[in-house]
Chains A and B, each alone.
Chain A
């Protein structure tokens, strides 16, 4: 059969065309996923490789990759030009090169800290052995490394904190939102409180949360650090509103016929919520959650600054306090890190949302 195809140029061309069309379809499907993560510009490259209409692809590539890259380069150029002209008491504002250098410094100190940690554990072992020899009743314990958290440890702490706060916010906001959406009178009761608390800044919540956590969270062997809890709960308080409002809006806008069907079928309230209400309101709920996570990430940095939670916010505050000649560059590294992680979190939620809604709609 292969031989026939090869021998007949007409047939071979048709087969190639068919394969190309097949690949084109596949690319279209991939595009749906990758464009969510901001890699939409890969598609025209794939299409180009697939031999599809080059001029259209090049145009798409220019718009998808060329223009954004050009704008980034323009931004970097402007920044590099302007930065040295702004003289602060900590020296000139660092340009892109100094910031890249500061990032390199943070990576180096991360590596150095890991080496110190190993030496720390070795010393600890030796010390424990010596002590057991002297005092046999002693049960040697291995204490975690006591050095400073590195930049990457701090990023990880921040991500954990924001997800903890976000999780709490979702757990609180979705049920309240559903109740508010189902009953107009409940909605009337909840609404004024939401309107009042929604605009409150994390910096106003923080002192209250700090005092409450200190008073209520008393334990000899705490599971979480108090500072961690304080920051997470502050994130919760500031980020639950978008989810709450969207959920109740989504629930309120469900087709009344659908609810009536549920009533006719005599579904129990639990089943109604699970099978009818939540699935139909899901797109709204997810949009709310996406907004919440964005708010939470923004709020977290402020909360960490004051709650002493060892994340990115504390990093920025400590560097500001250091006031050394490299502090500004390090803070800028943090600014970019915060921005990029915020962007990724948003994309993550978008992907999640797309996944869930497309399934719910099916």
Chain B
């Protein structure tokens, strides 16, 4: 009786709210009025991640109930490695996952496993480092210029590693380093750093899928959590990996981080949240809901000048997430980075989750990864500039991101000024690279011509030469 009236009034209220939301949507984006409601089509989701601190938005969205606020019941599942993670997203065992920025791009253009993967959410900026073993550091340190305080001057360039590599090669010992995956940020960052210091990291060719043609340093794949142990075992002499695995090496005394990716390329895009294109098409509202929850999580992580980071560290230290000791995770998550033991420096932007429009999926970020794939031969032949743009638009879906952001602004959960509403998807040319070469996402072919080591135009690896 009374229940019925409240029922009806609630229903009316609900309809009003939906109409209001819809009207706003139509005003904002001119979307067709077909989107009747935005309830998620699929409510039980399994999302995959790799044990790295930059999976934080997923853990935060789960722990703070942001997923549940969107009506999603999410299970977060750690995956054994990036290959397993990608395969399980493709096979549908995972609804989506924390991915390397290069993975959706690599899959879409068919380097490695071919599959259409899209992303509407960029997970973070920076967060990686390059670590070398104690032995290599001892040899390298002799060449590194020292500051007035007796500590090495940063950024440390690969120029100082070069004599060490040459010595190893002269002794007939191949110089081996680890990275986490062929299309990983880490592979490209390590290659960028080495090449900027005049060390050739090797090309991928049709016959050489390990990417060691012409290489002076042999790079191989090692899963992130095994990096310190593999280096300790002497299989590799250094590696590029995300946190906490650089700080772990310092804590365990097995190696010394020499450079962070922030110094290689200031505010470089790192991980994305990837789903299969088919999944995104089948469950558009679910996708939108996940992105909304992730945006809120990213906002929380960066809120009030990283005020929540200590709490985030506690979450990530749980065995089900990153699981490393809280002290190790805290080092980088709270804005400091320890190079040589005791040499702790402030790097407030070591991990950026929301500032600087970190979560917006910029086309230019995609283009940068594609240029590196071409530079190192993962893309076999030269492509026109239009191709880069086309692939970027196929994989990166800022429309979904902005729609999610708009809904959050309307619900009062986000601020209008925190999102780049008017961007064309290309960042202004970026200049903060360790070698000073500027990157303009609109002219990838011209960008590739600027590197002395690397493929450009239609030069085949054999002709490009190396040493």
Contacts and interface: CB of A to CB of B under 8 A. Distances in A.
B323 A308 contact: no
B325 A324 contact: yes
Nearest to A150: B320
Given A143-B43, A308-B80, A135 B323 contact: no
A318 B78 contact: yes
A323 B324 contact: yes
Interface string B276-310: 00000000000000000000000000000000000
Contacts of A135: 14, 37, 39
B91 A214 contact: yes
B254 A306 contact: no
Nearest to B253: A89
Contacts of A90: 252
A330 B88 CA distance: 27
Interface residues of B, number: 45
A324 B317 contact: yes
A127 B65 CA distance: 12
B84 A323 contact: no
Nearest to A330: B319
Nearest to A210: B87
A33 interface: no
A89 B252 CA distance: 5
A325 B325 contact: yes
Contacts of A324: 317, 319, 323-325, 328
Contacts, number: 96
Contacts of A131: 39, 71
A227 interface: yes
Contacts of A320: 225
Interface in A28-55: none
Contacts of A256: none
A144 B45 CA distance: 11
B321 to A, nearest CB: 9
Interface in B25-61: 37, 39, 43-44, 51
Given A321-B51, A322-B322, A325-B325, A127 B11 contact: no
B323 A138 contact: no
Interface in A312-332: 317-325, 327, 330
Contacts of B77: 308, 310
Contacts of A123: 65, 68
A308 B84 contact: yes
A327 B323 contact: yes
Interface string B1-15: 000000100110110
A173 interface: no
A124 interface: yes
Given A134-B14, A227-B93, A89 B232 contact: yes
Interface in A123-140: 123-124, 127, 131, 133-136, 138
Contacts of B10: 133-134
A322 B84 contact: no
B222 interface: no
B80 A306 contact: yes
Contacts of B73: 124, 143, 146
Contacts of A127: 68, 71
B187 interface: no
Interface in A296-347: 305-306, 308, 310, 317-325, 327, 330
Contact of A138 (B39, B228, B253, B324): B39
Contacts of A148: 76, 320
B11 A134 contact: yes
A321 B320 CA distance: 11
B37 A318 contact: no
B79 interface: yes
A101 to B, nearest CB: 15
B88 A308 contact: yes
B319 A319 contact: yes
B235 interface: no
Interface in A141-159: 141, 143-144, 146-148
A110 interface: no
Contacts of A210: 87
Nearest to A143: B73
A226 interface: yes
A136 B78 CA distance: 37
A317 B248 CA distance: 18
B74 interface: yes
A320 B317 CA distance: 14
Nearest to A134: B14
A89 B325 CA distance: 13
B229 interface: yes
B167 interface: no
Interface string A72-94: 00000000000000000110000
Contacts of B84: 306, 308
Contacts of B37: 135
Interface string B99-115: 00000000000000000
Most buried by B among A131, A210, A321: A321
A89 to B, nearest CB: 4
B260 to A, nearest CB: 20
A29 B14 CA distance: 74
Interface string A253-265: 0000000000000
A321 B229 CA distance: 10
Contacts of B62: 146
Contacts of B223: 321
Given A127-B71, A138-B39, A322 B93 contact: no
B325 A136 contact: no
B35 to A, nearest CB: 15
Contacts of B79: 308
Given A135-B37, A305-B80, A308-B88, A318 B71 contact: no
A324 B88 CA distance: 27
Given A133-B11, A308-B84, A323-B323, 7 more contacts: A89-B229, A109-B319, A146-B62, A146-B75, A310-B77, A321-B51, A321-B78
**6 closest residue pairs by CB, A with B:** A322-B323, A321-B225, A148-B320, A134-B14, A89-B252, A143-B73
27 contacts: A89-B229, A89-B232, A89-B252, A89-B254, A131-B39, A131-B71, A133-B11, A134-B11, A135-B14, A135-B39, A136-B11, A143-B43, A143-B44, A146-B74, A146-B75, A214-B87, A226-B91, A305-B80, A317-B80, A318-B323, A322-B225, A322-B319, A322-B323, A322-B324, A323-B324, A324-B325, A324-B328
Interface of A: 89-90, 109, 123-124, 127, 131, 133-136, 138, 141, 143-144, 146-148, 210, 214, 225-227, 305-306, 308, 310, 317-325, 327, 330
